[in-house]
Structure 1
Amino acid sequence: MQVISPSALAELQAHPLANLFPMIPDVETGGEFDELVQSVALNGVAQPIILHDGMILDGRNRRAAALAAFEKHGVETPVRARDWSSLPKAERCASPLDYVLVNNLSRRHLTASQRAIVAANVVTWERGMNQHSARGGERGDQDGSRGEPGASPTGKQARGEPGTSPAGTSKNGSAHVQPQPETVREVATRFSISERALHAAKRIRERGVEELDQAIRDGRVTVRAGAELLKLDDRAIRDALLKPEREIVAEAKAIRTRNMAYSREKRIEMAKRVAAKGTVTAGAMPSSAFPIVYADPPWQNEVWGEETGHDKSPENHYPTMPLADICALCVGDRSPATKDALLFLWRTGNRSVHGVEVARAWGFEPVAELVWDKVDIGPGKWVRDRHEVLMICRRGNALPLWENAPDSVYREKKGPHSVKPVHFAQLISDGWPGVPKIELFGRRDFLKPGDPRLDPANAWTLWGFEADSPDASRAAPPAAPAGPPAGRPANNHCWPAASSAAKRKAKVPATKAKRRTGRAK
């Protein structure tokens, strides 16, 4: 324990981890800081300042109040200080970062938006420290900017708060903190905020407009309003922040209203395009030709409200189909599947009943499910969605199952709207090499080099409105006047259609083959 004089106290810098949290409001913006100054002038500083690497890890407000008490009231208050490493193990926490979080979250009255922007800074800090460590510490960090928590100094230096050293470095430039990274969900839980708020705060942080970041830290702007302001250019954001708080909120709402109107215009334009084409068709459906069917129907979603419910609707991306039309698509002789076949059918989490209804309408019985965990949580009505389901269905003496049953859950971040991970097409290709397969509602434009559906050896055929053209706005092809001969796929609007010779050469495993013990249940 040491006692620091006011002159020595003024020379101390704040540790970057301490600057993750905003200072308390000063006398000009609320009076909370002035109350602390009065208390220090009368009673002194009760709690010692905690140092780490010669910088203030905890106690910036106490330091600023002690300096203000000396300047305004002439009261010279000695301040005790001790190093973080000298604290008892129970008080020290797992790391300096953990110590800062535990102490500030337990005693500070921060709004949800302030907690969100701090949480975003924590995520940025941990990511920067991971990258710093992976590159070998000091290499590549000569500018000192990587991993910086990002507390803007506005309003702090006016109270005698000196600048900070680059994040991730001590005064001599060496790395001093390497906290264990936490997931977005763990950070959100720790800060008692939603993952949505944390993602919005991360976008604000990544945009790099310091005035917006600081306005949220100071409690003048919410994260939600800040996320709307991101739709403006940087100069317009700064101009908006010069206005009174009420006008900032009004401008954010106006931006959201304009975006909703634009989204509504897009939906109306899509409806006009579909109506102009008549019934959207992708050509004649191949008949009784494929032992494996892989389908991702364009489900028509219900929405909560007309003004905002369509904001992320599939109709903004492609024409959808009512449930009755999906059920009727592959009924009876119109089915592309052989009488002994497997169906892999995608459905969303809220369509368990509809998925079964479609499978049975197509002549299949559901037997198992694969779950795609999309990592990032999305919107939802009853619950917030984070997964989709690939139903495994069969009819007749279907093909033998996988030799080694796959895990029922696969985790991968979602990409473009409605595009499913290649992992599932690869599972099907590996499980039944050379067996003819058809993907209904296939989208050629999203297939990348290395996709198993591009390899002729895997015998994939794509059928759908976007199967043979990346441009969904093209004129719809006319339906064939009559279906193809039984047992042969129609080439019209399929991509790529396997030749008849290739079909005959494809060896379908015997349906009476001995079942392996590792098959899917």
Structure 2
Amino acid sequence: MNRVQHPLSAAFPAMSPADFEALRDSISNIGVQNPITLLDGMVLDGWHRYTAATELGMTCPEVDLAPTNDPRDFVLAQNKARRHVTQAQLALATTAVYDWMPEGNPGFVQLDTECPVAKTTAELAQIAGVHPNTIKQAKAVQKRAAPEVIEAVKRGDVGLPKAAAISKLPQEQQASALTAPTPKVAPAAEAIEPSVSEGPQPDDIGPDAEELAALAAAEAADREALAKLLDSDDKLATAHAEITRLNHLTAQLQQRLNGLMNEKNEAVKQCKALQRQLDRARKGQAA
């Protein structure tokens, strides 16, 4: 039976050609070691394993997702730690995953009776590990951008600030705008989606002044609460002092390790240079 990729799996960027080729070689040698996970007969996790095995004419072990598992949480957990996934790609995938609604799946609906299906921007930001503004940009792209723009973000070719600005253009103009300078946005929107120039751009534009002030106030309150707690508990204060000392020691050791690594690299370079000189001398004697 030919399987298709589940929409939740497709929310994440495809594996690079080099990584896929390495996976294909591994499967060719030892087969598929970890079963793929199915949901409604579609591949929820392990699409690249399944594709490689199919191309090689090999069987691929399968398991069904447990009915008690939320497929959105499952697929995000399986993909969140993938190598080379940028904040933009993760934010876009997270918004797409939690926008997904199953059809004819009462078990999934029952699973969500204790928590709403819809998640706030702050909740999505916490899940993805990005700033809320990054999620706002991802939502704008998911809602208004042409498929070509969404795919460009998934491939890592375009950052979210530019993609969000492009999404404000008419759909028929968006694909051509991918290779043009970022469109100007209205002043009211620039706090969220600023105009940027060509070239690599940060995915997260950071908090605004009001958010910074709120963060500073929260940090000050936390420091004050911690100081009161330490004053009232001698054992806790001693433990805190020891942790601080160990943190300083760790930083010093890391700095020393970095220095030793630099020295090692320099020694390797010198050895290679000496080896080249020795090789040339041997060639001269042989001649």
Deviation at 1:378, TM superposition (A): 6.7
Q: Check conservation: 1:120, 1:201, Cα contact below 8 A.
A: yes
Which residue matches 1:56? Answer: 43
Amino acid at match of 2:34: Q
Q: Deviations over 1:5-51 (max 9, x none)?
A: xxx2xx112223222322212x3xxx222221122112211100111
Q: Please tell me whether residue 177 in structure 1 is matched to residue 108 in structure 2.
A: yes
CA distance in 2: counterparts of 1:111 and 1:19, whole angstroms: 16
Which residue matches 1:418? Answer: none
**Residues 227-238 of structure 1: matches in 2 within 5 Å?**
227-238=164-175
**Residues 129-144 of structure 1: matches in 2 within 5 Å?**
none
Amino acid at match of 1:82: V
CA distance in 2: counterparts of 1:107 and 1:311, whole angstroms: 31
Q: 1 or 2, which has the higher helix percentage?
A: 2
Which residue matches 2:125? Answer: 188
- For residue 98 of structure 1, the aligned residue among 64, 73, 80 is 73
- Aligned residue for 1:106, secondary structure, equals coil
Amino acid at match of 1:19: A
The TM-score normalised by the length of structure 1 is 0.34
Ranges of 4+ aligned residues in structure 1 off by more than 6 Å = none
Deviation at 1:176, TM superposition (A): 5.4
Q: For residues 56 and 46 of structure 1, do their structure 2 counterparts lie closer, same or farther at Cα, with a shift above 3 Å needed? A: same
The TM-score normalised by the length of structure 2 is 0.60
Amino acid at match of 2:146: V
Number of aligned residue pairs: 195
Percent identity between matched residues is 27
Q: Please tell me whether residue 220 in structure 1 is matched to residue 157 in structure 2.
A: yes
Q: Please tell me whether residue 37 in structure 1 is matched to residue 28 in structure 2.
A: no
Deviation at 1:384, TM superposition (A): 5.8
Q: Deviations over 1:261-300 (max 9, x none)?
A: x85xxxxxxxxxxxxxxxxxxxxxxxxxxxxxxxxxxxxx
Q: For residues 385 and 206 of structure 1, do their structure 2 counterparts lie closer, same or farther at Cα, with a shift above 3 Å needed? A: farther
Q: Check conservation: 2:145, 2:174, Cα contact below 8 A.
A: no
- Aligned residue for 1:39, secondary structure, equals helix
Note the residue ranges of structure 2 that are not aligned, 5 or more in a row.
192-205, 216-287
- For residue 59 of structure 2, the aligned residue among 60, 78, 94 is 78
Q: Check conservation: 1:378, 1:384, Cα contact below 8 A.
A: no
Q: Deviations over 1:65-90 (max 9, x none)?
A: 1123x2xxxxx32211111228xxxx
CA distance in 1: counterparts of 2:83 and 2:58, whole angstroms: 24
- Aligned residue for 1:32, secondary structure, equals helix
Q: Check conservation: 1:200, 1:227, Cα contact below 8 A.
A: yes
Deviation at 1:238, TM superposition (A): 1.0
Q: Please tell me whether residue 14 in structure 1 is matched to residue 2 in structure 2.
A: no
- Aligned residue for 1:13, secondary structure, equals coil
Please identify the structure whose Cα radius of gyration is greater.
1
Deviation at 1:186, TM superposition (A): 1.6
Deviation at 1:220, TM superposition (A): 1.1
Q: Check conservation: 1:216, 1:223, Cα contact below 8 A.
A: yes
Deviation at 1:218, TM superposition (A): 1.4
Deviation at 1:175, TM superposition (A): 4.9
CA distance in 2: counterparts of 1:108 and 1:39, whole angstroms: 18
